[in-house]
Every structure is written in C-alpha cells, then in structure tokens.
Structure 1
Amino acid sequence: MEIKLFQKTQRDLAASINNVIDRYWEDEIDESKMIELIQKLYAINKSKFIKEGKYTTILRQQCGKRRLEVIDQVIDY
C-alpha cells in the first residue's frame, strides 16, 4: 500500500500515520522504513502536525497516546 506524503487534512494525516505505525507493529514494514515515512510526513505536513508547540487536537484524538509516543522518538519538533 502506498502512502501519500502530501495530506489534505489533519484527519488524512492521522490516518496515514496510523497506517504506517500499524504496519510497523504488524511487521509489514521494517523500523527504518517506518522512521523514514514518519519523518517525511512530518517534514511535508508540519503545519498539520504541530500547533503552538503541541500535536494538533485531531492528531492526538485520531492517533492516540501509543502512536504519538512512537512519533516522539522519530521526529524532533
């Protein structure tokens, strides 16, 4: 399954993040691929990721605490 890097909405971004991390947890992609995809999603969609120094509300609601902990380890914001 292909991941679109340019996301239209925060909900689309959250769905892509969930997809990447879930595929990693299910051993469908390796750790380096997961890190690469999350970093690319972050770089291209920064304004949908972070508002006022925190993850956006939509991202927090849609991704959940465990996935955001993974993202914390992967990106520097």
Structure 2
Amino acid sequence: MQVKLFYKTQRELAVSLNGIVDSYWNNELNEDTLISSVHDVYINNPNKMLKEGDFTTVLKQQCGKRRLEVIEKILRSSAGSRL
C-alpha cells in the first residue's frame, strides 16, 4: 500500500488513515508497517490530525471511533503521550 506523507485536506488524510487501518485489519499490513505509517502521516500533518489535543471533527466523522482508538494508541505509544 502506497501512503503519501503530505495531504492537502483533512478528508484526504482521513481516507488515507482509513485505508491504513483497514489494511491492517484485513491482514494486508503487519503491525510494524501500521505503526510506522500512522506515525509518518502524523509527523507530516499534525495540524490536520489534531486540534487542541483532540482529533479534528472531520477525522472523527470520516474515520469513526474504532479506527481513531487504534490511531490514538499508536500516537501515544510512539511519542510518549502526544495526545
């Protein structure tokens, strides 16, 4: 799966994050790839993912609670509590 590092809109970012997490759930990605992909996307798009320590409204609407739980755990573990 090819993942861009920089996204123009929050909706594009949400679609990409959905694809990453869904690929992991479908056993198309291993755990290390999932973690590094989410981490890389966050590092290059922090303002499109988080506002005031919480996920943006667009991400909440587009990604859903379960995907965001996975993403939140990755972000917390990879950088010692970014959220």
2:16 paired residue number: 16
Per the alignment, residue 25 of structure 1 pairs with 25
Partner of 1:61: 61
Please provide the CA RMSD for this pair. 0.7
How far the C-alpha of 1:5 sits from its partner, in A, is: 1.1
Q: How many residues align?
A: 77
The TM-score normalised by the length of structure 1 is: 0.96
> What's 1:46 paired with?
46
* Gap regions ≥5 residues in structure 1: none
How far has the Cα of 1:32 moved from its partner?
Answer: 0.5
Q: State the distance in 2 between where 1:61 and 1:17 align.
A: 13
Q: CA deviation at 1:52?
A: 1.5
Name the structure, 1 or 2, with higher relative contact order (CA <8 Å, separation 6+): 1
Q: TM-score, normalised by structure 2?
A: 0.89
Percentage of pairs with the same residue: 49
